[in-house]
């Protein structure tokens, strides 16, 4: 309900896009589905290239991480990652208690939604491959065929 009220206050839910109270999202999963579709519909290319990878990596890692970590796993420009963090702020926690800013998914139910609806296997693989590349000779150089 908190998310729905925030969306109404911010003008994301209006009479134009919700013509009947029964069309409001039902439960957290319904809210997540609606928000995920809405964000994708705004700019599908931007969503696919930047938003989905950053958000799904955060869901896969399940712990607070830096933008530097996200950059290594997504291979995206740190500025683009920061933009995604700003765009998805309501779903993220920021920990600024240490030397570096750390980001994580706010609620485990959103991580579960992403695991079920989007699938996180390829994002777990990206994290694992990044770690394995640090071991000399462990992964064959993919550019040498």
pLDDT in tens, 6-54: 554 455 555 554 555 555 556 889 999 999 999 999 999 999 999 999 9
Q: What are phi and psi of 65, to 5 degrees?
A: -140, 160
Tell me, yes or no, whether 94 and 123 share the same domain: yes
| 93 and 115 share one domain | yes
Q: What is the pTM of this model?
A: 0.77
Other CB atoms within 10 A of residue 113 CB: 20
The answer to whether the beta carbons of residues 65 and 58 sit under 8 Å apart is: yes
Tell me, yes or no, whether 52 and 86 share the same domain: yes
Q: Does residue 99 or residue 57 have the better pLDDT?
A: 57
- The whole-number pLDDT of residue 95 equals 94
- Which positions ≥6 away from 59 have C-beta within 8 Å? 105, 110, 111, 114, 115, 120, 123
Q: Using CA atoms, how far apart are residues 101 and 68, in angstroms rounded to an integer?
A: 10
Same structural domain, 56 and 118: yes
Per the CB < 8 A criterion, the answer to whether 122 and 53 are in contact is no
- Decide which of 139 and 127 is more confident: 127
pLDDT for position 15: 55
Rg (CA), the chain: 17
Question: Beta partners for 105?
Answer: 92
52 with 78, same domain: the answer is: yes
- Do 57 and 6 share a structural domain? no
The model's pLDDT over 81-125, given as tens digits with 9 standing for 90+, comes to 999 999 999 999 999 988 999 999 999 999 999 999 999 999 999
Residues 101 and 139 in one domain: yes
Q: Do both 64 and 17 map to the same domain?
A: no
**12 and 37 co-located in one domain:** yes
List the domain range (segments joined by +) for residue 129: 43-144
The answer on 94 and 27 residing in a single domain is no
Taking 50 as the threshold, does the pLDDT of residue 65 lie above it? Answer: yes
| Inter-CA distances, 145 with 9, 28, 107, 140, Å | 54, 46, 42, 9
Number of structural domains in the chain: 2
């Amino acid at each position: 309900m908190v998310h729905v009220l925030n969306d109404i206050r911010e003008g994301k839910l209006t009479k134009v896009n919700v013509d009947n109270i029964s069309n409001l999202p039902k439960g957290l999963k319904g809210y997540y589905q609606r928000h995920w579709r809405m964000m994708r519909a705004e700019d599908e290319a931007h969503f696919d290239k930047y938003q989905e990878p950053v958000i799904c990596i955060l869901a896969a890692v399940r712990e607070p991480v830096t933008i530097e970590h996200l950059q290594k796993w997504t291979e995206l420009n740190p500025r683009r990652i920061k933009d995604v963090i700003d765009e998805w702020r309501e779903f993220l926690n920021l920990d600024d208690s240490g030397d570096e800013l750390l980001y994580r998914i706010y609620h485990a139910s959103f991580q579960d939604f992403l695991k079920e609806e989007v699938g996180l296997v390829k994002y777990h693989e990206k994290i694992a491959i990044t770690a394995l590349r640090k071991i000399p000779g462990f992964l064959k150089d993919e550019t040498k065929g």
